[in-house]
Amino acid sequence: MKIAIYNARSYDKQYFDRYNRQFGHELHYIDAHLDADTVILSEGAPVVCVFVNDPVPEPLLKKMRDQGTRMLALRSAGFNHVDIRAANELDILVANVPGYSPFAVAEHAVAMILCLIRRIVRAHARVREGNFSLDGLMGFDLHGKTVGVVGTGKIGSVFTRIMHGFGCQLLGVDPVENRNCRDLGLQYVSLPTLCRHSDIISLHCPLLPETQYLIDDTAIAEMRDGVCLINTSRGAVIDTAAVIRALKSGKIGYLGLDVYEEEEDLFFEDRSNTVLGDDVFARLLTFNNVIITGHQGYFTREAITNIAKCTLANVAEFEQSGQCVNQLLAP
């Protein structure tokens, strides 16, 4: 089956080519993002494949349908960048990769915590300049601290297990309680209670209408002074302006971000020779207690392998049956 793969990076091509040998799909790589100007490049392809930074609104879906697209294959678990309801109405099947590697993202969140609370980045920069002073580098033990986990699905449950291994007290927020997390001693509470009692808060929830700007001025006001906040889920789960105010006041003592609300116009490209036009993002970069990575939490060999395998298998299942076990339906 012909698949038009947009925003294809070198690593995408490497892994898709390797695992396509068992499927025999016709892979057509397109370096550009999918948008109104580039959609014509996939004309005649029954399957279009995109990543999280390619928004697919209704007008684009209509154009794709008119060009012969019958399936939209997502190289991601997240799907808030796609108008699922419109796709369903247009009879375009949308399938995602629901669990490519919860370990990758959970471990990245832990890495950010350790880098922040032990001031690893600053320490490394000092040593490179021959400065071996420890002044200003004092951290704190994770053992015995209270960690709040917002979202205890696949990624959140792995993160919970890791934090349990550090000897942390665990609080959680999720409308659906996870028995495995409860067995590790995690106590489910309300978001305000979690904010009041957590030394570290890590976000692992999907972006839904009810989770957009979940971390706002109200939630931040409930947090402990100097809290460590980590977001590896979706950028719009936090109100960035509110977070910047909290950084300035010292309410947030440490911030680790792998996602950003406006990342689709920023991440996954080399912009080192350009001036950043995003003033909010530029402001975040001025804080020495902030670590930002460019949506690389998922980026491990294991995860990219699973993404390639599952995406190709989704297409094969659709080709054979017209259905897919990972099909997404609007609520």
Integer Cα distance of 11 and 27 in angstroms? 14
- Start-to-end Cα distance in the chain: 29
How is residue 181 written in tokens?
Answer: 């997390």
**Is the C-alpha dihedral spanning 233, 234, 238, 241 positive or negative?**
positive
Name the burial class of residue 225, with classes exposed (0-12), middle (13-18) and buried (19+) by CB atoms within 10 angstroms of its CB. exposed
Query: Dihedral sign, CA of 299, 305, 306, 309?
Result: positive
CA distance 32 to 8: 8
Rounded CA separation 326/99 (Å): 10
Residue 295 is a catalytic residue: yes
Q: Which one is catalytic: 210, 295, 301, 319?
A: 295
Provide the greatest CA pair distance for the chain. Answer: 65
CA dihedral of residues 313, 316, 318, 321 (deg, nearest 10): -120
Q: Which of 25, 33, 81, 263 is an active site residue?
A: 263
CA–CA gap between residue 107 and residue 117 (Å, rounded): 15
Instruction: Kindly state the tokens that stand for 223.
Output: 């947090």
Q: Which candidate in 234, 261, 262, 317 is catalytic?
A: 234
**DSSP SS3 for 29:** strand
| 234 included as an active-site residue | yes
- Angle, CA 96 vertex, CA 66 and CA 174 arms, to 5°: 130
Q: Which helix (H) or strand (E) holds 48?
A: strand 47-50
Residue 224 annotated among the catalytic residues of the structure: no
Query: From CA 98, how far away is CA 273, in angstroms rounded?
Result: 36
Please identify which residue in the block is written with the tokens 């960048």: 81
Annotated catalytic residues are 234, 263, 295
